[in-house]
């Protein structure tokens, strides 16, 4: 594993929430309901798996990890979990009380490990699962930084030219009563609108973004429509589909490997997918499996999973190696997503620069055309 127990846990991000109540005389339940940085949970999982591998009892391992965690919400949560487990509660039950930190997938896998007596192995699988997911998120974030900076810079430069530089040229053109060409008139019109109605130019996109975010959070129908639309966008759609397939295959495979029954594993995949199109597809698969069918055929009928995936799942079912086959699918599709994203961002960066050059070049030409005509008029009068 990349992360080792010797690493100290970093200081967690703080979140504001009211402390939960506790029994009289008991320590305040201060961690309940608070969000925690996912990297902290991943580090904790890796460290707990390492301690479990070493044969250290769960309560002692939790005490060690709680003691080395910096003060904050996550330390409070670990203290509460340690108290609950010391009092006789199963680890999965203690974690499930903090479902904003340890989600349904996490607590279900821990429960399966407890029932099967293989908690140490399940924790190792869960640690690998979270590390892979964290690595993918980190790669995407890093790849987005430079294009995002370029886009922001382009917007600021173009806005500054249109709102501050062009009005100065307009004054010059008006003072010389120059007959302006059509591109220049259009440019001056845009500049005048943006200068006069700047609050609309800034406010409407922000308002639309906020309204979209609220609708995505509150309306499942809107959210499903948005997710379906994204899956149809050229290039982005196939990448999202492969990423979604990899996530489903890794989650399902890890759960099956941990001993979670297929129907329960599908239910957890549905509840933790984050994409409403996949939610509906997994529910359809689950309904068919409940009726006694295998998994491969209903997967193919959803239209989300290609023939390679369904054939590999079919082979996995026939050979009794479904979990291993699903994890192979996840690894293969993660690699495909990485390659496609790398190719996309290699094209995106020069495309943004070319777009900036075209826009700024167009602005310059639109301003030079009347200036050239004005200089010719002045030269003729001289």
| 260 lies in the same domain as 317 | yes
**C-alpha atoms less than 13 angstroms from C-alpha of 12 in its C-beta half-sphere:** 28
| 225 lies in the same domain as 87 | no
Asked whether residue 13 is domain-assigned, the answer is yes
Strand partners, 29: 20
CA distance 250 to 334: 10
For the chain, the domain total comes to: 2
Name every residue whose Cβ is closer than 8 Å to that of residue 262 and which is 6 or more positions away in sequence.
Answer: 256, 289, 295
Start-to-end CA distance of the chain, whole Å, equals 81
Which burial class, exposed, middle or buried, applies to 135 when counting CB atoms under 10 A from its CB (0-12, 13-18, 19+)? middle
**For position 314, what pLDDT does the model report?**
94
Polymer length of the chain? 382
Tens-level pLDDT at each residue, the chain (382 residues): 444 333 333 333 333 333 333 333 444 455 555 678 888 898 999 899 899 888 899 999 999 999 999 899 999 999 999 999 999 999 999 999 998 899 888 888 898 888 878 888 888 888 888 888 888 778 777 777 888 888 888 888 888 888 888 888 888 888 777 778 888 889 889 888 888 888 898 899 999 999 999 999 999 999 999 999 999 988 888 988 998 999 899 889 988 888 889 999 999 899 888 889 999 999 999 999 999 889 999 999 999 999 999 999 999 999 999 999 999 999 999 899 888 888 888 888 888 889 888 988 888 888 888 888 777 766 655 5
Q: What is the CA radius of gyration of the chain?
A: 29
- CA 287 to chain centroid: 28
| 93 lies in the same domain as 157 | no
Do residues 3 and 131 lie in contact, with contact meaning Cβ atoms separated by under 8 Å?
Answer: yes
Asked whether residue 118 is domain-assigned, the answer is no
**For position 4, what pLDDT does the model report?**
38
| 294 lies in the same domain as 202 | yes
Q: What sections of 69-118 are H helices per DSSP?
A: 73-86, 91-96, 104-116
Asked whether residue 133 is domain-assigned, the answer is no
- CATH code where residue 289 lies: 1.20.81.30
> Degrees (nearest 5) of the Cα angle 175, 181, 186?
90
Asked whether residue 203 is domain-assigned, the answer is yes
| 368 lies in the same domain as 291 | yes
Q: pTM value?
A: 0.71
φ, ψ for residue 156, nearest 5 deg = -65, -45
Q: Give how far Cα 78 sits from Cα of 4, 63, 75, 99, 205, Å.
A: 19, 8, 5, 13, 42
CA distance 32 to 67: 18
Question: What domain range is 63 assigned to?
Answer: 1-102
CA distance 253 to 129: 10
Asked whether residue 121 is domain-assigned, the answer is no
């Amino acid at each position: 594993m990349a992360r080792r127990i010797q690493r100290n846990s970093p200081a967690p991000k703080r979140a504001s929430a009211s402390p939960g109540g506790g029994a009289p005389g008991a320590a305040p339940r201060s961690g309940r309901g608070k969000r925690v940085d996912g990297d902290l949970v991943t580090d904790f999982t890796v460290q707990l798996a390492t301690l479990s591998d070493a044969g250290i009892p769960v309560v002692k391992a939790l005490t060690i990890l709680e003691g080395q965690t910096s003060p904050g919400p996550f330390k409070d949560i670990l203290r509460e979990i340690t108290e609950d487990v010391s009092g006789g509660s199963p680890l999965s039950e203690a974690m499930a009380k903090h479902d904003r930190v340890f989600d349904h997938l996490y607590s279900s896998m821990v429960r399966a490990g407890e029932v099967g007596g293989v908690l140490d192995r399940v924790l190792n699988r869960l640690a690998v699962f979270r590390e892979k997911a964290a690595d993918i998120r980190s790669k995407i974030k890093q790849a987005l930084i430079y294009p995002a900076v370029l886009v922001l810079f382009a917007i600021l430069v173009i806005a500054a030219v249109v709102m501050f530089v062009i009005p100065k040229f307009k004054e010059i053109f008006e003072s010389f009563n120059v007959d302006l060409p059509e591109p220049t008139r259009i440019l001056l019109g845009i500049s005048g609108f943006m200068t006069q109605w700047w609050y609309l130019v800034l406010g409407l996109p922000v308002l639309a973004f906020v309204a979209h975010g609220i609708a995505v959070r509150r309306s499942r129908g809107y959210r499903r429509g948005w997710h379906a639309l994204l899956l149809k966008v050229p290039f982005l759609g196939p990448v999202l589909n492969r990423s979604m397939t990899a996530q489903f295959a890794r989650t399902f495979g890890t759960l099956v490997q941990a001993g979670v029954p297929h129907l329960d594993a599908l239910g957890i995949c549905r509840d933790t997918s984050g994409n409403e199109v996949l939610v509906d597809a997994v529910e359809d698969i689950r309904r068919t499996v409940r009726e006694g069918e295998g998994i491969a055929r209903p997967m193919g009928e959803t239209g989300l999973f290609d023939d390679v995936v369904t054939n590999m799942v079919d082979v996995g079912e026939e050979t009794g190696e479904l979990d291993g086959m699903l994890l192979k699918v996840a690894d293969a599709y993660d690699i495909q997503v990485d390659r496609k994203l790398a190719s996309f961002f290699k094209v995106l960066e020069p495309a943004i620069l070319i777009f900036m050059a075209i826009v700024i070049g167009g602005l310059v030409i639109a301003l030079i055309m009347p200036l050239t005509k004005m200089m010719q008029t002045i030269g003729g009068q001289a």
